[in-house]
Amino acid sequence: MFNVTEAWKAAYPDAHAGILVMQSVDNPSTHSELERLKQDLEGRLRAQFAGKGRKVLEMFSTIPAYTAYYRQFKKTYHVRAQLESIAFKGRSIPTVAALVEAMFMAEVKNLLLTAGHDFDRLDLPVMLSRGRK
């Protein structure tokens, strides 16, 4: 189900990837407990970075590794920008659909890039290969 090329391993020896498959899940447009958890996460992120400048994120957690990766493609790591918008600009996590919101929350909490796909539409095996510059 999940294959990794030698080129990917050689280019990113410290990288990790995972896959989570879920079936028969609900995806409501809103959920009261999820809303509470979003507000709690927003509060914790704001408290964690209170009184600190945006520069603190440059060396925080996984951000340096993602920044270096994205830089080679002349891109920026969008999860950092999302974290900044919550922690420093007071923005809220949007209400879209429960599964999307849960993945977004996981991204800004753990600073790990997350993606969701319809399993039935995947062309298996999922392949990790080195990106092109």
Q: pLDDT by residue (tens digit) across 71-114?
A: 999 999 999 999 999 999 999 999 999 999 999 999 999 999 99
- pTM of the shown model: 0.88
Beta bridge mates, 2: 126
Percent of the chain with pLDDT over 70: 99
> What tens digit of pLDDT does each residue of 1-60 get?
889 999 999 998 988 898 899 999 999 999 999 999 999 999 999 999 999 988 999 999
Q: By three-state DSSP, how is residue 65 classified?
A: helix
What value, to the nearest 5°, has the Cα angle with vertex 94 and ends 90 and 95?
145
Structural contact between residues 44 and 93, judged by C-beta atoms closer than 8 angstroms? no
Check: CB of residue 34 under 8 Å from CB of residue 101: yes
Residue 132 has pLDDT above 80, yes or no: no
